[in-house]
Amino acid sequence: MNKYKFIDNQGTFLLENPEINSYMYFPIANECGVMSSFTPTLNGDCKMSQNTFLLAPVSAEELHNNKSSRNFWIYIEGYGAWSVTGASGKQKYEVFDKNKENTKLEAGIMWYKITRESQNIGIKSEVTSFVPSNNKKVELMKVTITNISNEGKKITPTAAIPFYARSADNVRDHKHVTSLLHRIETTDYGVIVNPTLTFDERGHKKNTIVYGIVSAEDDGKNQLDFVL
C-alpha cells in the first residue's frame, strides 16, 4: 500500500495512486448539516439527515463496491469516452497494468482533490470537492480538464451524478414506489427533483424537501443539454 505524506503545516496530505488503496474514503461536512463521503473514485453519499439523502446511502462496503457514483465524462473526438474517475472499461482494465493512468489524491480540512493524467491521450483532469463553511446546503465539485498534448482536441463533457432524493429507510422499504413519486424538472442550469410524498417510519406525509444538481462553466454559462 502506498503511503501518504503531508505537504504543508495545515494538514494537507498527498497520496499517489489512491484507487489501489483498500477501503479509503474521506468525509466532508459543514455546520449547516451537509455531510458527504468520497472515495478516490468519487463514490459515496451526500445527505442532511437520515431522511434526506441527495445521493444513495452507502455502507463501508458499498462505498467501494457500488458502481453508482458521482462521475464526469468527456467524449474525445477520434478516441471515445474517458472518465475523470477511471470508470471506463479500458481505464479499469489498466489499473494494475503498466499503462495505468497517473493519479494522485490531495486533501485537507473538508476538501478533497483527485488528479488523473493520461499520457496516452494527452488529457489531465482535476476534481476538487468541498462543502462551503457558510450556511449553504450544498456540496460543490469543480472539474478542470486540461489538454496536455501538442494537438488540439474536440471534447464533449457530461456530468453524471445519480439522484436518490429520499430517506435512507427507502433503501429497504418502498424503494420502488418512492422512486415513482419523484417529480423531475429541468432548469437552465440543472435538474430538480421534488418527491410528492415521503414513505418511512414517520408515516405517509407530503414532502417538503426539494433536491437539485446544477452545473455551469467557469464563466457562469449554463450547459446545453440533458440526458435523463
Give the Cα separation of 97 and 7 in Å (integer): 28
* Global confidence as pTM: 0.89
Q: b/e map of 72-92 (b: 16 or more CB within 10 Å)?
A: bbbebeeeeebbbbbbeeebe
Q: What is the mean pLDDT of the chain?
A: 90
Q: What percent of the chain has pLDDT over 70?
A: 96
Q: What integer pLDDT is reported at residue 198 of this predicted model?
A: 83
pLDDT of the residue at 176:
85
Q: How confident is the model at residue 227 (pLDDT cuts 50, 70, 90)?
A: low
pLDDT digits (tens, 9 = 90+) for 169-186: 888 888 888 888 899 999
Place of cell 485537507: 108
- The predicted pLDDT at position 102 comes to 95
Give the mean pLDDT of 7-36.
Answer: 91
pLDDT in tens, 85-135: 999 988 988 888 888 999 999 999 999 999 999 999 999 999 999 999 888
The DSSP result for 103-164, as a single string, is EEEEEETTEEEEEEEETTTTEEEEEEEE--SSS----EEEEEEEE-SSS---EEEEEE----
Judged by DSSP in three states, 92 sits in helix
Q: Which sequence spans correspond to the domains of the chain?
A: 5-162, 170-217
pLDDT reported for residue 20 = 86
Residue 228 pLDDT: 54
Show the cell assigned to 166: 429520499
Instruction: State the pLDDT confidence band at 149, using cuts at 50, 70 and 90.
Output: very high
User: Can you list the positions of beta strands (E) in the chain?
Assistant: 5-6, 13-16, 26-29, 35-38, 46-49, 52-53, 71-76, 80-83, 102-108, 111-118, 123-130, 140-147, 155-160, 182-186, 190-195, 197-200, 203-206, 211-214
The answer to whether residue 45 scores a pLDDT higher than 90 is yes
Better pLDDT: 123 or 62: 123
pLDDT band at residue 199 under the 50/70/90 scheme: confident
Q: Averaged over 202-225, what is the pLDDT?
A: 85
* CATH number given to 5-162: 2.70.98.40
Is residue 201 pLDDT above 90, yes or no? no
